[in-house]
Structure 1
Amino acid sequence: MAVGTTLMTLSGVALGGSAWLLHAATGEVTRQNLLGAAAAPAEQHRTITGAKNILLVGVDTRPNQDPSQLTRADSIILLHVPADHSRAYLVSLPRDSLVTIPAYDNGATPFRGGQNKINSAFAFGSRGLTGSAALSHGFELLALTVRDLTGITPDAGAIIDFQGFKQIVQVLGGVCMYVDETTTSIHVGHDTAGKPAAPYAINPDGTVNHRITGVTPNVYTKGQHCLDPAQALDFVRQRDLLANHDFDYGRQRHQQQFVKAVLAQVVSQGLDSPTKLPGLLSAVGRTMTVDDGGIPLADWAFAMHGVKPDAITTIKTNGGTFNSRTVPGVGSAEILSPTSLQLLRAVRDDTVAAFVAAHPTWVADSGPTSADH
Structure 2
Amino acid sequence: MTATAPLPRHRRRRTVLLRWAVVLTAVLAALVGAGWIFAVHVLGSVKQTDLLGADAATRHADITGPVNVLLVGTDQRADQPVDAARSDSIIALHVTADHRTAYLISIPRDTLVHLPADPATGFAGGTNKINAAFQYGSQRGGGISGGVKLLAETIRTAYGIRFDAASVVDFAGFQQVVDALGGVNMCIDERTTSIHAGLTAAGKPAQPFTEDSAGRLHPVRGVTPVVYEPGCRHLSGAQALDYVRQRNLLARGDGDYGRQRHQQQFLEAVLAQTGSAGTLADPVKLDRVLTTVGHSMTVDTGGVSLPDWIFDMRGLNGGSVQTIRTNDGKFDSVNVPGLGSCQLLTAASRQLLHDVTTDSVGTFLAAHPDWRGGGATGGSSL
- Give the TM-score normalised by structure 1: 0.91
Instruction: Determine whether 1:7 maps to 2:27.
Output: yes
Deviates more, 1:97-106 or 1:325-334: 325-334
Letter in 1 for 2:281: D
| Deviation of the 1:368 alpha carbon | 2.9
Q: Structure 1: where are the runs of 5+ without partners?
A: none
- Alpha-carbon distance between aligned partners in 2 of 1:52 and 1:300, rounded to the nearest angstrom: 11
- Contact 1:9/1:302, CA 8 A, preserved across alignment: no
Give 1:296-311 correspondences, 5 Å limit: 296-311=305-320
Decide which of 238, 249, 258 is 2:266's aligned counterpart: 258
1:50 to 61, 65, 89: 65
- State yes or no: 1:121 paired with 2:128: no
Distance 1:81 1:160 in 2: 20
Report if aligned partners of 1:200, 1:208 keep a CA contact under 8 Å in 2.
no
Q: State the 1:369 CA deviation.
A: 4.9
Distance 2:132 2:111 in 1: 10
Matches of 2:33 and 2:371, distance apart in 1:
38
| Alpha-carbon offset, residue 41 of structure 1 | 4.2
**Alignment of 1:319 onto 2:328:** yes
Q: How does 1:178-327 map to 2 (within 5 A)?
A: 178-203=187-212, 207-268=215-276, 269-327=278-336
Question: Does 2:57 align with 1:40?
Answer: yes
| 1:134-191 deviation digits (Å, cap 9, x = unpaired) | 1000110000001111111101000122331111111111111111111110001100
Distance 1:32 1:63 in 2: 20
Q: Give the secondary structure class of the aligned counterpart of 1:250.
A: helix
Alignment partner of 1:177 is 2:186: yes
Distance 2:169 2:326 in 1: 21
CA distance in 2, matches of 1:79, 1:92: 9
Task: Note if contact 2:32-2:314 (Cα within 8 Å) is conserved in structure 1.
Answer: no
Structure 1's 229 and 41: CA in aligned 2 closer, same or farther, altered over 3 A? closer
Q: 1:39-64, CA deviations, whole angstroms, 9 ceiling, x for partnerless residues?
A: 1245xx45311110100001133354
Distance 1:13 1:104 in 2: 42
**Residue 98 (structure 2) aligned to one of 84, 90, 93:** 84
TM-score, length-scaled by structure 2: 0.89
Amino acid at match of 1:125: G
- 1:11–1:152 distance in 2 versus 1, CA, 3 Å: closer
Q: Given the superposition, is the C-alpha separation of residues 158 and 91 from structure 1 closer, same or farther in structure 2, using an over 3 Å criterion? A: same
Separation (CA, whole Å) in 2 of partners of 1:272 and 1:11: 12
Q: C-alpha distance in 2, partners of 1:59/1:318?
A: 23
User: Which segments of 5 or more consecutive residues in structure 2 lack a partner in the other structure?
Assistant: 1-19
Answering whether residue 89 of structure 2 is matched by residue 75 of structure 1, we say: yes
State the Cα distance separating 1:12 from its structure 2 match. Answer: 5.9
Q: 1:219 to 1:63 in 2, by over 3 A?
A: farther
Structure 1 partner of 2:10: none
**Aligned mate of 1:145, from 154, 162, 165:** 154
Aligned AA (1:111): F
CA distance in 2, matches of 1:329, 1:214: 35
Taking every aligned residue pair, what percent have the same amino acid on both sides? Answer: 50
1:331 Cα offset (Å): 2.0
Distance apart, 1:110 and its partner CA: 1.0
Mapped contact 1:178–1:222 kept (Cα < 8 A): yes
Alignment length, in residue pairs?
Answer: 359
State how far apart, in whole Å, the 2-side matches of 1:24 and 1:8 are: 13
1:81 and 1:265, CA in 2 relative to 1: closer, same or farther beyond 3 A?
same
Contact 1:33–1:291 (8 Å) recurs in 2: yes
Instruction: Give the secondary structure class of the aligned counterpart of 1:147.
Output: helix
CA contact (8 A) 1:10 1:305 kept: no
Query: Any idea what the Cα deviations from partners look like across 1:204-251, whole Å, max 9, x if unmatched?
Result: 57x343001111111111111211111111111111111111111111
In the TM superposition, 1:101-120 aligns within 5 A as 101-106=115-120, 109-120=121-132
Number of the residue aligned with 1:363: 372
For each residue in 1:345-366, what CA deviation from the matched residue of structure 2 results, as whole angstroms up to 9, or x when unmatched? 1111100011000001111132
Q: For the structure 1 residues 242 and 222, does the alpha-carbon distance in structure 2 shift closer, same or farther, using more than 3 Å as the test?
A: same
Q: Which amino acid aligns with 1:238?
A: Q
Counterpart selection for 2:169 from 156, 160, 169: 160
Show the counterpart of 1:60: 75
